[in-house]
C-alpha cells in the first residue's frame, strides 16, 4: 500500500531552516506559484500553512521550506525521510498573477521569505519577464537558495544587513538604489517579515510602482470559515487563505497585522519551550 504524504527528501539548509520534499502527486500536478499547503504533523497537531517552494510533476513531489520557530515546526523537523505527515492539503490560495505584472519586475525577498520569493521569481522568469531578484539576509551565514535564485532571475542582488556579503544594507536600500540608477519597474513583489514588506511598499508607493505582497498569517481551516487570517485591505476585510495570500501591498493595513501577530508571541514562545522540555525529557530517558 502506497504511503500517503511520505517525506522523500529532508535537507537542512541552515541549523534552523529545513527543506522537505513530500510525495503528494495530486497537489504537485495542480500547484502554481504563490499557492500554499496546510499540514498537520499528527492527528493531535495544529494546522500550519507553508508556501509551496517547488513542485516536480514527474516525481509527484511538493517542496516546502520551513524555519523552526515554534512547536509545530520543531515537531515537523523530528520526522525523517520515509515517514509520513498526517495531513497535507492543497494547493490553497489564489496563484500569483504573473501575466499582469509587465515586462520588468523587482522581487524582494527577506530572510526565510526568499523561499517564497524564489518560486514567484522563477515563474516570472520562465514567462519571459526581466526579473531583478533582491535577496536580503542578516548575515552571510543565514543565506539560503543562492544558486537556485541565480537560475530564477535575470539579475540577482544579494544583500546582508552587516555587509559581510553582497550589498551592505537592507533589501529596500538595494531596491531604492536600483530605482535611482534608472531601472523602471512595471511591478514589484515583496515577501518576508511584515516590517520589511511594509517598508518596501512605502518605497514603491513613492515611485508609483504597483506592489504585490504575500501574507501568511495565522490560519486554521484554510477555507475562510474561521476568520483567523483576516487582513484589512483598502478598508475591507479579506481572508488570506481564500482571497490571498497575495494582496496589493499599498492597500494592506500592516500596522493592524503586525499588532495581531505580536499578540500571539508570548503563547508561541511558551508552547515552543514546553515542547523543547518534552524533547529533552525523551532524550534523557
Mean pLDDT along residues 251-270: 74
Q: What is the pLDDT of residues 147-163, one digit of tens each?
A: 999 999 999 999 999 99
Average pLDDT, the chain: 88
Position 269 confidence tier, pLDDT thresholds 50, 70, 90: low
The closest alpha carbon to 222, from 22, 69, 20, 87, belongs to: 87
285 CB neighbour count, 10 Å cutoff: 5
Task: Show the cell assigned to 88.
Answer: 497535507
Q: For residue range 113-130, what is the model confidence (pLDDT) as tens digits?
A: 898 899 999 999 999 999
Quote the pTM value.
0.85
pLDDT of residue 165: 92
- Rounded CA-CA distance 32/91 in Å is 8
Average pLDDT over residues 208-219: 85
Burial of 153 (0-12, 13-18, 19+ CB in 10 A): buried
Q: Where in the chain is the domain with CATH 2.10.240?
A: 215-266
pLDDT for res 267: 54
Delimit the CATH 3.40.50.80 region(s) of the chain. 94-211
- The strands making up 104-110's β-sheet, listed across from edge to edge, are 167-168, 155-160, 130-137, 104-110, 187-191, 211-214, 246-248
How much is the pLDDT for 140? 93
The architecture (CATH level 2) of 94-211 comes to 3-Layer(aba) Sandwich (3.40)
CA 14 to chain centre: 16
CATH number of 215-266: 2.10.240
- pLDDT of 285 reads 45
Instruction: Tell me the C-alpha distance between 265 and 105, whole Å.
Output: 34
pLDDT in tens, 26-38: 999 999 999 999 9
Q: What are phi and psi of 94, to 5 degrees?
A: -90, 130
CA atoms within 13 A of residue 40's CA, in its CB half-sphere: 12
Quick one: 7-92 is in which CATH superfamily? Translation factors (2.40.30.10)
Reported residue count of the chain is 285
Amino acid at each position: 500500500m502506497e504511503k500517503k504524504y511520505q517525506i522523500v527528501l529532508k535537507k537542512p539548509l541552515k541549523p534552523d531552516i529545513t527543506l522537505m520534499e513530500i510525495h503528494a502527486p495530486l497537489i504537485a500536478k495542480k500547484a502554481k506559484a504563490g499557492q500554499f499547503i496546510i499540514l498537520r504533523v499528527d492527528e493531535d497537531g495544529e494546522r500550519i500553512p507553508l508556501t509551496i517552494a517547488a513542485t516536480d510533476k514527474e516525481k509527484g513531489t511538493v517542496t516546502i521550506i520551513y524555519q523552526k520557530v515554534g512547536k509545530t515546526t520543531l515537531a515537523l523537523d523530528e520526522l525523517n525521510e520515509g515517514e509520513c505527515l498526517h495531513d497535507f492539503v492543497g494547493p490553497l490560495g489564489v496563484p500569483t498573477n504573473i501575466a499582469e505584472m509587465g515586462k520588468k519586475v523587482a522581487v524582494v525577498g527577506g530572510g526565510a521569505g526568499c523561499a517564497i520569493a524564489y518560486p514567484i521569481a522563477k515563474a516570472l522568469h520562465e514567462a519571459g519577464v526581466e526579473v531583478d531578484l533582491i535577496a536580503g539576509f542578516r548575515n552571510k551565514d543565514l543565506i539560503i537558495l543562492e544558486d537556485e535564485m541565480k537560475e530564477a532571475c535575470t539579475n540577482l542582488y544579494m544583500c546582508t544587513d552587516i555587509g559581510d556579503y553582497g550589498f551592505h544594507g537592507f533589501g529596500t536600500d538595494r531596491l531604492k538604489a536600483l530605482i535611482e540608477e534608472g531601472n523602471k519597474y512595471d511591478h514589484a513583489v515583496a515577501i518576508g517579515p511584515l516590517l520589511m514588506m511594509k517598508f518596501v511598499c512605502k518605497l514603491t508607493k513613492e515611485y508609483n510602482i504597483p506592489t504585490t505582497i504575500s501574507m501568511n498569517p495565522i490560519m486554521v481551516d484554510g477555507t475562510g470559515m474561521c476568520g483567523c487570517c483576516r487582513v484589512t485591505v483598502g478598508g475591507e476585510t479579506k481572508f488570506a487563505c481564500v482571497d490571498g495570500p497575495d494582496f496589493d501591498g499599498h492597500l494592506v493595513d500592516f500596522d493592524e497585522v503586525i499588532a495581531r501577530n505580536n499578540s500571539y508571541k508570548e503563547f508561541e514562545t511558551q508552547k515552543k519551550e514546553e515542547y523543547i522540555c518534552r524533547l529533552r525529557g525523551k532524550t534523557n530517558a
